[in-house]
Amino acid sequence: MPVGTSSAALNLAATLEPAHLELVRGPLSVQMPADVRERVARCREFVLQVSGSGREIYGVTTGFGPLVEFAGRADGAGQSDNTIIHHIVGHGELMPPAVARAAVLARLFSLAQGRSGVSEHVVDSLIAVLDTEFSPAVPRLGSVGASGDLQPLAYVAHALRGNGKAFFRSELLPAAEALGRAGLRRLELDGRDALALVNGVSVTAAALGLAVAQAVRARRTAELLSALMADVLGCGTEFTSVGLLAAFGHPDVADTGAALRTWLSGSAPSGERPLQEAYSIRCTPQLIGAARTSVRHAEEVVRRDLNGVSDNPLFFPETGEVVHGGNFFGQPSAFAADQLNVALVQLGNLAERQLDLLVDPHRTNGLAPMLSPAPGRHHALQGVQLCTTATVAAMRRAAAPASVQSLPTNLHNQDVVPFGTQAAFTALDQATLLRYLHAGLAIGLRQAVHVGARRPRAPRLAEVFDRIAAEVPPVVEDRPLDTDLRTAADLLDTIASEVEGAR
């Protein structure tokens, strides 16, 4: 039996959501209903019938890419090697095991649609892998996202066959040893099985789906922290006016205003703030609302990728068709990831500007500079702000779109490519960096109250503030805050998830 069965479960007949990808951080039980198994078996039988008839099928009887004009290897095991081995050339840092496992889950759902012609034991093997703590070791760099994520998915197949490296319980091992520790058998593949495993956008979809799941939390966190800041500083709430935001004409902006009003219910202005606040307070419904639109669009796109079939060719037993085409071309996710990337950077800009306002005594009605209880002798948030500035700079530098960087390759067989994989990983990186910015702002708000800002008047915000204060002590004397930042980031994710569940 595989080592490490989990209580988390999914069904292959259900819709795969971006948030489900986070379940594979640990073992995940995936059920395959009888009708799903039947359609996989029916498609496989059709592939065997067609290939046995002498009909030419890409990847079954031929070479790959521009070498399609040449015959492939005669035996199934050899054709499997023919598919995988020449793609084991990736480099760069290894993607985190949770991302590689999310790619396995995404590939499983694609293959379970019964259009790829894989053997039943391939689907069973992927299910078994997910129910353990095994993860293929996969380099991040190597895919252009055009004929699917060929190189990273080849590393997945390579490890499942007992070759290369893999993780077991976060330890990097020879893949054969990791399989053994997990109680898994080496996966045997023929040519069609191997091509179906590597010829799809599942790494792109996994990385983008994980980025979306975090971005949803980040948007909620931005709403929460913006409301908390307005309350702590004693700002008026006119900027969240129902009529004002309805007149703007953007539903997501209106919804963000509603969320801010919910958080701020029970708050009252101090009467000491200017008539019009800085944009980092006054324009939060418009900024966060626009980000909400981008996040929602990315979520819709990646949901389609997670539940569609990205493969070539596809097989239709009911009509007797074998259709060669380009469903492996990850352009939709490439565009969506770039758009999400930009939205995440702007949320980062907002958090950085909000922290800058908070540590400036000229804009906080005289709170201590850097929120220090003893300026000069202790520096409180000064280091956090410096790192926040560096983090925003890094996010901005990475904001260049990948989806327009097309370069012809593969003897011009792939003469236009989307680079969706790189776009998706950038979005995932940005979502991770944004957690740090929000954590720094949360610590700043906690410290502001310590040095004289008012405690939140809105009951819901007061409750959140107390949770932050319970986890992060005030800065009385300077101390390392890196652990506090990680604690705050985790807590904000938890709170944002609770808010999502309540809405």
For residue 309, give both structure tokens. Answer: 């079939």
Tokens 């002590």 sit at which residue?
Answer: 473
- Amino acid at position 157, single letter: A
> What is the Cα–Cα distance from 86 to 103, expressed in whole angstroms?
20
Contact of 122 with 181, CB cutoff 8 Å = no
- Residue 62 DSSP label: B
Torsion-angle region of 365 (φ positive above 0: left; ψ -120 to 50: alpha; else: beta): left
Q: Residue 54 CB: number of other CB atoms within 10 A?
A: 7
Q: Is residue 155 annotated as part of the catalytic site, yes or no?
A: no
Nearest of 333, 341, 339 to residue 398 by alpha carbon: 341
- Amino acid at position 185, single letter: R
Contact of 4 with 132, CB cutoff 8 Å = yes
Select which of 58, 155, 279, 436 is catalytic. 58
Buried b (16+ CB within 10 A) or exposed e, 253-265: bbbbbebbbebbe
For residue 111, give both structure tokens. Answer: 């293959």
Q: Which pairing describes strands 139-141 and 165-168: parallel, antiparallel, or unpaired?
A: unpaired
Q: What is the DSSP string of 196-243?
A: HHHSSSHHHHHHHHHHHHHHHHHHHHHHHHHHHHHHHHT---GGG-HH
Contact of 414 with 147, CB cutoff 8 Å = yes
> What is the Cα–Cα distance from 420 to 425, expressed in whole angstroms?
9
As annotated, the active-site residues are: 58
